[in-house]
């Protein structure tokens, strides 16, 4: 997989439709994803319980995204005239959640388990448009890893990008080198299903 250096057509289309928004998330990756296309992003950090509750992954990720957007709507920072988006993401392999590695050794074991295999990424976005009720939008993408040898894994761990990253890698940095292909929207893998969000917003205003 090649690195996306310049904003792609999705990011540019998104920024033309949404030149400004409130991002109810502390994620620098989601903020950078939006800003790359030209969207002006105002960050609100929601104080919510992000404990993974329940058994269905889509329900889990949707519930957290919903709580984040509602936390913003209830806050004194709420601007009813601005579009607001919150998000949450889960990574699964063999139906089991992949968390964030707690150490370099844990990251190494995680990447070994992903080598040559397919993982599923589920991202949910809570979206609040002016004059409309908040909704939750979900999307799923499959990420197929290359077969990694010990040198590949050691080289990636040395970057430190594994730290704080679900699945132990960051696609938008040098983690793209670990990936053979993505079946689905790459922005969903980064943590914000931009295509589905854009489709929804355009449907509402057309």
Annotated catalytic, 79?
no
How far CA 89 is from CA of 18, 26, 145, 146, in Å, comes to 22, 13, 18, 22
- Axis crossing angle, helix 9-17 with helix 28-37, rounded to the nearest 10: 80
Burial 111-129 (b: 16+ CB within 10 A, else e): beebeeeebbbbbbbbbbb
Strands 40-43 and 20-24: parallel
Sequential DSSP letters for 30-74: HHHHHHHHT-EEEE----------SS-HHHHHHHHHHHHHHHHHH
**147 contacts: CB under 8 Å, gap ≥ 6:** 115, 116
Are the beta carbons of 76 and 15 closer than 8 angstroms? Answer: no
Of the listed 88, 139, 150, 183, which one is catalytic? 88
Please identify which residue in the block is written with the tokens 């919903």: 66
Residues that are catalytic: 88
């Amino acid at each position: 997989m090649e690195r996306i250096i310049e904003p792609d057509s999705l990011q540019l289309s998104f920024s033309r439709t949404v030149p400004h928004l409130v991002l109810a998330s502390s994620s620098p990756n989601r903020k950078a994803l939006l800003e790359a296309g030209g969207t002006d992003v105002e960050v609100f950090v929601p104080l919510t319980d992000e404990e993974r509750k329940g058994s269905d992954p889509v329900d889990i990720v949707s519930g957290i995204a919903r709580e984040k957007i509602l936390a913003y709507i209830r806050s004194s920072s709420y601007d009813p005239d601005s579009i607001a988006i919150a998000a949450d993401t889960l990574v699964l392999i063999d139906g089991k959640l992949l968390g964030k590695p707690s150490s370099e050794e844990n990251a190494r074991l995680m990447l070994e388990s992903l080598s040559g295999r397919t993982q599923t990424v589920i991202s949910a976005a809570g979206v609040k448009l002016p004059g409309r009720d908040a909704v939750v939008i979900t999307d799923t993408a499959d990420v197929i890893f290359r077969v990694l040898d010990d040198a590949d894994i050691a080289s990636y761990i040395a970057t430190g990008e594994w730290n704080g990253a679900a699945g132990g890698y960051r696609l938008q940095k040098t983690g793209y080198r670990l990936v053979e292909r993505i079946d689905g929207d790459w922005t969903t893998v980064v943590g914000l299903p931009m295509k589905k969000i854009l489709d929804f917003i355009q449907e509402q205003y057309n």
